[in-house]
Amino acid sequence: MKLAVVVPRYGPEIGGGAEGLARWAALWLARRHDVTVLTTSALDYRTWADHYPPGETRDGGVRVLRFPVPIPRDGERFDRFYSGIVGRRPGVLVEQEWMRLQGPVVPGLIENLEADGGRYDAVLFVPYLYATTYFGLPVVADRSVLIPALHDEPPAMFRLMERTFSLARGIAFSTAEERQFCAQRFGAVRALNRLVGTALAPVPPGATEPADGRRRYVLYLGRVDQSKGCDTLLAHHAAAVRHSRRTPRLVLAGRIAMDLPRAPWLDVRGYVDEEEKARLLAGAIALVMPSSYESLSIVLLEAWQHGRPVLVTEASDVLVGQVRRAGGGLWYADADEYRRALDWLAAHPYSARALGTQGRRYARGRFRPEAVGARLEGLLGEVVTAP
């Protein structure tokens, strides 16, 4: 098959999330198919400022076409506009202005789809939220496959999103909760669809154990941002420390997008490479995930691959669903439950290890690259051959 993948940002530096899933899908599919990625020259989603040179490059077996973003995002203007409409019922024209301000608006990418989109057997769009999907998917709707990364967040309630989900020919869902929410929000899913998930790279032997055999901290992995619940996490952990001196340190690893306090119980690492991430997971009592807005948490799967239990917020049905299916951790509703869960995990290392072992068994079964790749290729085959 001749395939295209449309994603706002692309590259190994981007990390996980929807962009990481898009890159994995492109590289996996390129083993057997002709794959082109259509993306921007941007690295930072907050500005969409050009970072990579525009034009054609290669990423392994994938052809990558990058297009410049003529008007970068004005963060302050966007935030003011968004805060003025969120939670309300603005008109569709207002919502479209929000989409343009959010971006990335990439005329060259859309023109490429208009000129060459018919040459592809299928075009994958990742994720639902950005202008590359909103303006690009209708151009090739008859051969479009959406990997939405959909969850219960304010933009999902905007009426303009209904067009995207009604036009998609196929939809690759990451979790049962994502598919259920899609049906609740947009009505019965009529598109061809499958639960595909995401794939995990194998963990090198010995990478699951700390060098000295001791685990001393709880770990957060991902973008350090209020939108990820990190402000609440910091408040919960500070309260736990005030209650007990035995509360372990909190280590934050990921790109920093918010102001952070200076505290003896807080260890801020910033962005880490894969090798350092593996070392941090090996030494962690547990991974904590406070985000309410998730369609599938890849870092939970990575923690389970390392045999580590997880502690997640009850505010996310997706996270709780992942933990239930895996039997790989605990969840909390408030600061008190967070503290008591930490105390239990630290005081019962053998039980914590059992939770991590169950999670590892689940992650290595359901999310093996071969299994995920087969499900994705199966959906693409249905889209290409269905009348």
What are the boundaries of each domain within the chain? 2-199+368-385, 217-366
Instruction: Write down the pLDDT at residue 204.
Output: 61
Residue ranges of alpha helices (H) inside the chain are 17-29, 75-85, 92-102, 107-116, 131-136, 161-167, 176-186, 230-243, 274-282, 298-305, 317-326, 335-347, 349-366, 369-385
- Quote the mean pLDDT of the chain: 92
**What is the identity of the amino acid at 149?**
A
More confident residue, 40 or 317: 40
Q: What are the pLDDT digits (tens) for 7-53?
A: 999 998 886 678 988 999 999 999 999 999 999 999 998 899 999 99
- On whether the 217-366 domain is CATH 3.40.50.300, my answer is no
Report the share of the chain in percent with pLDDT over 90.
Answer: 74
Examine the pLDDT at 54 and tell me if it is beyond 90.
yes
Classify burial at 242, counting beta carbons within 10 Å of its beta carbon; exposed 0-12, middle 13-18, buried 19 or more.
Answer: exposed
Mean pLDDT of 82-97: 88
Least confident of 1-10, 180-189, 210-219, 362-371: 210-219
Q: Quick check: 211 pLDDT over 60? A: no
Question: Taking 70 as the threshold, does the pLDDT of residue 172 lie above it?
Answer: yes
Domains 2-199+368-385 and 217-366 belong to one CATH topology: yes
Helices 17-29 & 369-385, crossing angle to 10 degrees? 80
Section 51-75 average pLDDT:
95
| 35-45: pLDDT as tens digits | 999 999 999 98
pTM score? 0.77
Identify the band that residue 213 occupies on the pLDDT scale cut at 50, 70 and 90. Answer: low
**Does the structural domain 2-199+368-385 have CATH classification 3.40.50.2000?**
yes
Q: How high is the pLDDT of residue 216?
A: 87
pLDDT level of residue 206 (50, 70, 90 thresholds): low
Output the pLDDT for position 15. 67
pLDDT at 57 over 90: yes
